[in-house]
Amino acid sequence: MDAFALAKSKARTLRATISKGLVSSFDVVRQALGNNGYEINAVDKNGVLLRGDDAQLNRDFSQVLVRDDVSDEQKALLAAHELGHLILHRPHDKCDLGDGDQGDKSRVVSRVETYGPRERRELQANVFAREFLLPRDIARQLFLVENLTASEISKRIGMPLPQVRRQLLDAILIPDISVGHDDSGAGVIKLDSSQQKAVDFNGRALLVEAGPGSGKTRTLVARIERRLNDGVHPSRILALTFSNKAAGELSDRISARRPDDAVEVWTGTFHAFGLEVMRLHYEKLGLGANIRLLSPSQAVEMLEERLPLLGLRHFHDLRNPGSKLKEILKPIGRAKDELVSPTGFRKLAEDALVSAQRSLSGAVGKARTSAEKAVLTAEKTLEAATVYEVYEALLRENKCIDFADLVMRATLLIESDEDVRRSFLERYDEILVDEYQDVNRACARLLKALHGPNVTLWVVGDSRQSIYRFRGASAVNMARFTSEFEDAESTPLEWNYRSSEHITQLSQRLADAMDRRQAHGGMPYTPRSAYRAAAKRGNVGSKTRVLVGLNDEIEADLIAAEINALRKEGVPFSQQTILARANGRLDELAEQLATRGIPTLHLGSFFEREEVRDLLSLLAMIAEPNGAALVRLATIEEFRALGSDASTVISHAREKDIALAEVLVGATTLAGVSKVGAANMARLGRSIAGMSLNMAAFDLVTEWLFERCDYLRRVAETPGIEGDLSRAAIYQLLEFLDQTDLDGKPLNAREILKRVRTVILMSDDRDLRDPGLGVGADAVRLMTVHAAKGLEFKATHIVGLHENGFPLQFRSPICQVPPGIEDGRDPRAAHAEEEDCAMFVAVSRAEDHLRLYHTEKAVVQARSPSRFLSDLALNSEKGLTLSQDAIAPVNDGSRPIAIDTLTLFDISDFESCPLKIAYRHRLSIRSRRHEGPYLQASGVLYEVLDKVGTLADMPDADRDTLVEQIWSDRGPTKHSLGSEYRKLVDNSLSNLDRMLHGFRRAADSMVEIPISGGHVVLPAPLVSADGSVARYVDLRTVDPKKMRAGMLHAAARMAVGEDVAVEVAQLSSGDIVKIRRTPQEALADRDQASNILKAVRSGALKPRREMRTCMRCAHFFSCPAEGAERD
């Protein structure tokens, strides 16, 4: 149980002592305080007693002081917060309460916010106050049984509505955690001799080499306690970690043992410490007092808005600029990890280009090919240098920072400003660091700057568990420790308290193999110390097994069988985990194991979850103009309607140019809508009436859930682990929605939907994937190796053990840092080392049982066993060859679509995602969504190309006039950089005149190609003056071998003649691509088109899931359409 669960438990216990007849929150808290000998006094906030605070607990005079200028509801909340301090915490200096609910911070800042005990005390008091005033059992009774809305509950008990809604979210969506026995604060910490040696260190700097399961956190806490016993004041101890989770655990452990001293120990992450430095010295950094922190997603959005200023050539992409900007930001972040400024980055990039060009001069054959590639890489890096400069200027302009700045700028300030450095050198006597193998150069330099002559540095780490290379972590920093820090020493922890002997022996084999590979690769740094940990628990558990199956389905069978077998041996689902190298395989396994009766604790791809899509569709109803969200909302029980009903409503709104919400309210008057569907759609219309883009997304969704419908009540009743996961997902989504822009303004529906797309693009949703259900849920946990770091399980199943699976295949970055920034190792060798470390981490999670799985082939390709299986020297067991346990999917019963003509849009959509065709032809939903400036500019280009035949026959002046008209109608004319976007469009159109020169429009504007069962309709091509060449102009790259190109070839032949040469001019690149077809290939193209038409007519159009593609689709938030009720 953590401190927050304990706070809730104590609040409920205290509430049970209050008279049952009391309803008013103010009366309830007044009686509780009175029972403890305290009274509430309302006083002037700016008077001598409160001095600007909202409330204070005065223990000397047994009073709770609250400001007198707020309502009784707010006074009750403030008093309950102080009551929380009285019950939970020892006496200390004044409360740091701000506005009565300080736990509600921006999502960005909360990722790095300090876990110092003072902040945690305030958060605990907030949690206590809400739980005391509205205990979860009462909250559930009022909302779920008595069917009261949140506002009705607020009025009944006299508690502010925002806090009522927050408490309802906790009570309904978060499972209760019962109080268990916790001995973390009891007695003396028992240490073995190697741990005691580390704890008793009396020198300048110590590296504690702590392998898996060696009790490093216990040793670290004992070290802090030892220093406190030595007389070091707790405020002079700084403890740094790499994750909020680890910082929270460490803070809780210290608080459990030394509650009074722990208040003063600064415990947090490196990034949180950097934030603390900036808050203390913001003026020196040119920042405001309220530090504005930019998330990776916000960074992309900010650069997208300034796209024309970036001067992109290699990374120019108007259709999807975010994907390229994401790649450019990676080397910029790495440069900051290594404390390299924009100027330094440019110098290194220019040197790399000069060197590559020098190598190219005179090179021939393979050497020339290699040199040309090096020149291209250097040019891309130089382009990134320009973006880095613009990016930093934008950060300064907006007075904000990004994550990498937290450590970089704090380090550079302490190094360069003697007064600042002296203040920190005088502040601390002891600096402790957990997981030292994860430090990058910026962190190492920060520690070096803080390590003064009177400061002891005590760090703990394991170079074999270094798996964060993508953020600059390097085992080089471990190897350099004794040479970089004055009088540094090292000592190992010698026992493994986690794993049984046979698993520890496997870890030893892996460690030996890692060291052999490192020596063979000639790594330019000191080899690791020998792996020394011995198993303290002896040889318990079962023999490790390697199970081999034919494919992924068989692998799922094998895993399910082993999980059930171990469960019969007494290992519950909750003590088993499945580890994979990447999330994709885990998402598949969660579905596969569900059909085999295995409960799993895995939210999967967060934004693809059904309940998440439901609530995002609610926002899309307000923000997106195409009405696609109605299709999903019409599948919710209380709003259920036929697919044809939804289509009728959407079409009516479009034809009459009326807001969809207005049409819904009057759905009962529309012809062609079923009686039940009309009533339900009118109910949906009433539930969203009055909601607009003027509302914060969080407020909009919570009002809908707590005031306007029964959606949350049904979710609350869903049983089993699926119900737990659904509730956890909704909670995570609401936390995500409750975020602000850089100025502190809450995001509205349109802004949050844009943020969702960017978060997916950036893979910035890792913190949303953890359901946070703890060990209470009896389900198997599915995790990546990174997510499992620091955890342990009775049984561990490691899947995907084939080459290019685990280990992952090396991929060169699309945009690279210039030579001279990273540690000088060969990137392939560094990647191989990180994969070694990942496997070492995975194996060492197991306590008693370890199962390894390898599949022999993918869909058709054979798979080679992972090199790690050879390292472990275990015998493989051939598993099942035929999957037997999977439940057959239910027939979806898709309705046929009456259609006999295909377009190029249909063909393209069938290749990318057939479900788009259902939206267009069955539900009459257009594929348009809210467009940012770059999409508006891209839309101008597409509309110009739609009119290319007309343009070809126009004089130049008329052509320019038409382009100008299209720009006025579609372009980002009102954007602050509208003129710059116009330059981008003009640059893209610069090739058009050349492509049109000498060509005219064909006689027919459209061509019908007969196929079995119907036709393919395409635009006619342009024709050269002599009639020998037919040309199409396209914005995108065209693959001449694809069927789409074949259809263009057939249309050109029909429009111009069988002997005409066919080509596609690609507007963006200026390239001309020849399209050729043999008679057999042309026949195959038509057969393929016939098959597409047949599939479309059947209505069986399934979504093709690929998140990076899906998130750009206009239907993303409401997909899939076949969820709608059938006619």
What pLDDT shows up at residue 289? 87
What pLDDT shows up at residue 768? 81
249 pLDDT above the threshold of 90:
no
892 pLDDT above the threshold of 50:
no
930 pLDDT above the threshold of 60:
no
Q: Give me 512's structure tokens.
A: 């030996």
Contacts of 778 (CB under 8 A, 6+ apart): 572, 573, 574, 599, 721
Q: How far does CA 81 lie from the centroid of its chain?
A: 33
At 855, the pLDDT band (50, 70, 90 cuts) reads very high
1125 pLDDT above the threshold of 50:
no
What pLDDT shows up at residue 394? 95
SS3 assignment for 697-725 = HHHHHHHHHHHHCCHHHHHHHCCHHHHHH
Burial 299-309 (b: 16+ CB within 10 A, else e): bbbbbbbbbbe
pLDDT digits (tens, 9 = 90+) for 525-559: 445 666 677 888 888 999 999 999 889 999 999 99
372 pLDDT above the threshold of 80:
yes
At 178, the pLDDT band (50, 70, 90 cuts) reads low
884 pLDDT above the threshold of 70:
no
Q: Residues 255-274: what's their mean pLDDT?
A: 87
- Do residues 429 and 300 lie in contact, with contact meaning Cβ atoms separated by under 8 Å? no
Can you tell me the distance from the alpha carbon of 332 to that of 315, in angstroms, rounded to the nearest whole number? 15
pLDDT digits (tens, 9 = 90+) for 290-343: 889 998 999 999 998 888 888 888 988 877 788 899 999 999 999 999 999 999
Q: Residues 272-281: what's their mean pLDDT?
A: 93
SS3 assignment for 653-694 = HHHHCCCHHHHHHCHHHCCCCCHHHHHHHHHHHHHHCCCCCC
411 pLDDT above the threshold of 90:
yes
| Cis previous bond, 1120, omega within 30 | yes
> Rounded mean pLDDT of the chain?
87
- Do residues 438 and 405 lie in contact, with contact meaning Cβ atoms separated by under 8 Å? no
At 121, the pLDDT band (50, 70, 90 cuts) reads confident
pLDDT digits (tens, 9 = 90+) for 445-456: 999 999 999 999
What pLDDT shows up at residue 893? 43
Mean pLDDT lowest for which of 146-150, 854-858, 973-977, 1013-1017? 973-977
pLDDT digits (tens, 9 = 90+) for 832-842: 999 999 999 99
What pLDDT shows up at residue 116? 56
What pLDDT shows up at residue 377? 94
- Do residues 117 and 255 lie in contact, with contact meaning Cβ atoms separated by under 8 Å? yes
Longest dimension (CA), the chain: 102
Higher pLDDT, 592 or 992: 592
Can you tell me the distance from the alpha carbon of 1042 to that of 1064, in angstroms, rounded to the nearest whole number? 13
497 pLDDT above the threshold of 70:
yes
Q: Residues 182-195: what's their mean pLDDT?
A: 74
100 pLDDT above the threshold of 50:
no
What pLDDT shows up at residue 316? 83
- What stretch of H or E contains 558? helix 552-568
Can you tell me the distance from the alpha carbon of 30 to that of 868, in angstroms, rounded to the nearest whole number? 64
853 pLDDT above the threshold of 60:
yes
At 917, the pLDDT band (50, 70, 90 cuts) reads confident
**Residue 172 φ then ψ, to 5°:** -95, -35
Q: Count H helices, E strands: the chain?
A: 46, 28
3-state SS assignment for residue 880: coil
Percent of the residues in the chain that have a pLDDT greater than 90, as a whole number: 58
What pLDDT shows up at residue 131? 96
- Do residues 941 and 1067 lie in contact, with contact meaning Cβ atoms separated by under 8 Å? yes
pLDDT digits (tens, 9 = 90+) for 1044-1092: 999 999 999 999 999 999 999 988 778 899 999 999 999 999 999 999 9
Q: Residues 804-824: what's their mean pLDDT?
A: 90
pLDDT digits (tens, 9 = 90+) for 581-605: 988 899 899 989 999 999 999 988 8
At 774, the pLDDT band (50, 70, 90 cuts) reads low
Its pTM stands at 0.86
pLDDT digits (tens, 9 = 90+) for 27-85: 999 999 999 999 999 999 999 888 888 999 999 899 999 999 999 999 999 999 999 99
- What stretch of H or E contains 359? helix 342-360
Mean pLDDT lowest for which of 6-15, 475-484, 717-726? 475-484
**How many CA atoms are closer than 13 Å to the CA of 686, on its beta-carbon side?**
14
* All structural domains of the chain: 3-133 (1.10.10.2910), 198-285+428-493 (3.40.50.300), 293-398 (no CATH), 534-602+775-878 (3.40.50.300), 606-768 (1.10.486.10), 901-1110 (3.90.320)
What pLDDT shows up at residue 1114? 76
- Do residues 504 and 534 lie in contact, with contact meaning Cβ atoms separated by under 8 Å? yes
Percent of the residues in the chain that have a pLDDT greater than 70, as a whole number: 92
153 pLDDT above the threshold of 60:
yes
